[in-house]
A and B are shown apart, each in its own frame.
Chain A
Amino acid sequence: MTNSASAIFIKQFRDVSKNPDVLSQFIIYPVMAFIMTHLIDVNMPGMPDSMFITMFAKMFAGMAFVGAVAIVIAEDIEKNSLRFLLMAGVKSHEYLLGVGGVFLSFGIIGSAAFSALMPDADFSQRLAMWLSLMLGVAASILIGAIIGMTSKNQQAATGTGQMVGFLLSFGPFLATMSQNDTLMSIFRIFYTMNFVDTYTTEIAENFAIIGANILILSLMFTIVYGKKNKGGAVVNKKAVAAILTIALIGGAAFAAFTWHNAGFISTDNAQVVTRAIPVSATNSGVLERFSLREGQNVGANEILGWVEGGEAMRSPVNGLVMRTSAVQGQWVSPAETVAVISDTSTVHIRADIEETDILDVYLGQRVYVRIDTFGRQRFIGYVTNIGTSALPDASSSRTTLLVPVEINITDDVDLSRLTGVNAEVRIPLR
């Protein structure tokens, strides 16, 4: 940290410590979350244990800091303090690091408290939640700073700060509760809709959006800070250009990403599958003339082996030997599976689609498939079957269920030896 930033940090820390009203509002949210979760037994049907923690965490990171920072900076401007800092050559990032840094340290502690309070979370989930809340606090500080910089006076900053903070934290809440598509897509791009909790699945995307928010807000702050100093002598033009470039690239990448995903259902929860047919022994006895190997091609009706004193065991279909654990000379009993034959004529992709998307999927719908074995090569297929019952997603504790969908690939590619290989599926809706 530069001298100026640390000097302002020390000043701001002393100032806040003499102003307990400001401090108390950062303590109230984690304390309320603790009380509602651990001391009061609020038990509404269907309510997850973590509800109050995530709710207060979002209010903490999305609302409290916007107002507090807006007031502090508006006071600096109204009382003329910022002007003296500008004259002393304090640059925008130094001012922001100094004033915002104090609030960010409260944010880091508070976010840690929330992720520690979270029930049923493992270490990496807590870490992801902590990090996302912390970055959210940084974005809120930037918004508060921009409001403070652009407000006429402290009262205006208080009003705007409260309104913006309220919108930022309750907008996503409303969108989630109502499942309204328009609201969801509007708030999707705001950091407050991208906090990570134990139910989150798209963590990388969440962090990317929060990061993009921070970049754009930093740029906006640099501009409004520059406007406060007409001489322009203290605005670091190189820094502005660098941030602008990064923000533009990030913005373009984000736009491409959203465009790419809009109007698509996509999942990487898909595999190459075939129907597996078990072949069992015809009667008890010793296995004779049995030499199947895994991966071996077998034709329909081809003799697979004999059990002593019984009839031949035959492959019911054209296919491949998927598994066999039996060996010649082994004693087997009827109904004991000696081999599993993969019916290669049934090879297809099975994709698990979230229940919330399944109504958009129909038979015969065109699908793009990417199979891990083939890298980035894209195959075209169509939906041949839609499951009729939903299954829980084994990979997370989220409540969204998955419906299996079968997809046949129309491209000329032999998948028969790739059973179990992972795939990605994108179903265009347009």
Chain B
Amino acid sequence: MINVSNVEKSFGEATVLSGVNFQVKEREIFGLLGPSGSGKTTLINILTHQLDADAGEATVAVTPFETGLMLDEDGLYPRLSCLENLELFRRIYSMAPEKSTEALENVGLADAAKKPVTSLSKGMRQRLALARAILHSPKVLFLDEPTSALDPRTTDGIHELIKKIRDAGATIFLTTHNMDEAVKLCDRVVLLHKGRIVEQGEPLEICRRHESVRTVADLGKVFIKMTGADLYDQ
């Protein structure tokens, strides 16, 4: 569904991505793991046609129209209400009028429909951004740090939602620096450090492969072992 082969990208002197290779299969929840500055967002930007790669290929098997996107800088219109934000895209996609309300219900924001975005908490804002990303039932969904700054309960809710979307047939590509999230949610992960892939595979299998890491399912320790860097380092 997503194919990334030998992708290189630098901004001036700084190399951001170097020889990045991986595939994402249909109906997979795929996680791109790495600390801030490892090149995760740059890769999403390349896959969603915001940036051109310097070399290599990054292709998504569906049209941009069939992809959904949720970013940390969410692009919501602050003065408009939750519903008005969704209505814009519902009209662009020429969908039935009830779809916006349904999407709000899906993310648990039905009660806040009339509230302006400026009055929302960070968690509500992220849920609204997710509602917009899934409004048109995309085949591929890109989520950049979908649960950052959320409390554990809201995070669980979002995880359930992501699984539900996958079960409905979508492929999900998410970035995170939260290792628990990766283990709980992702079918496969890629560990990215300074623009290079240091490891990839199923989360538990990666942990098993690095036997010196005793604690089962601790990708964070794998990462520290391989790179000497902490995932939470800025």
Contacts and interface: CB of A to CB of B under 8 A. Distances in A.
Interface of A: 3-4, 6-8, 10-11, 14-15, 18-19, 79-90, 229-234
Given A8-B88, A11-B80, A88-B89, A230 B73 contact: no
A348 B103 CA distance: 83
Interface stretch (B32-40, B49-57, B165-173): B49-57
Given A8-B92, A83-B48, 4 more contacts: A7-B90, A10-B88, A11-B87, A15-B77
Contact of A15 (B51, B79, B91, B94): B79
A230 B48 CA distance: 9
Summarize B's interface: helix, strand, loop or mixed. Answer: loop
Contact of A87 (B51, B69, B78, B116): B69
Interface of B: 48-52, 63-65, 67, 69, 71, 73-80, 84, 87-94, 116, 132, 136
Nearest to B79: A18
A84 B75 contact: yes
A68 to B, nearest CB: 15
Contact of B49 (A19, A81, A233): A233
Contacts of A4: 91-92
Contacts of A89: 64-65, 92
A323 to B, nearest CB: 73
Summarize A's interface: helix, strand, loop or mixed. Answer: helix
A85 B48 CA distance: 12
Contacts of B94: 3
Given A84-B132, A87-B69, A229-B49, A15 B89 contact: no
A230 B77 contact: no
B91 A3 contact: yes
A4 B87 CA distance: 11
Contact of B75 (A6, A18, A79): A79
Nearest to A4: B92
B93 to A, nearest CB: 7
Contact of B73 (A79, A86, A233): A79
Given A6-B91, A80-B73, A88-B89, A18 B50 contact: no
A119 to B, nearest CB: 40
A79 B125 CA distance: 14
A229 B52 CA distance: 10
Nearest to B52: A230
Given A89-B64, A89-B65, A233-B64, A84 B89 contact: yes
30 contacts: A3-B92, A3-B94, A4-B91, A6-B91, A7-B87, A10-B88, A11-B80, A14-B80, A15-B79, A18-B79, A18-B116, A79-B75, A81-B75, A82-B75, A83-B69, A83-B75, A84-B69, A84-B75, A84-B89, A86-B49, A86-B64, A87-B65, A87-B67, A88-B65, A88-B92, A229-B49, A230-B49, A230-B50, A233-B63, A233-B64
Contacts of B89: 7, 84, 88
A231 B51 CA distance: 8
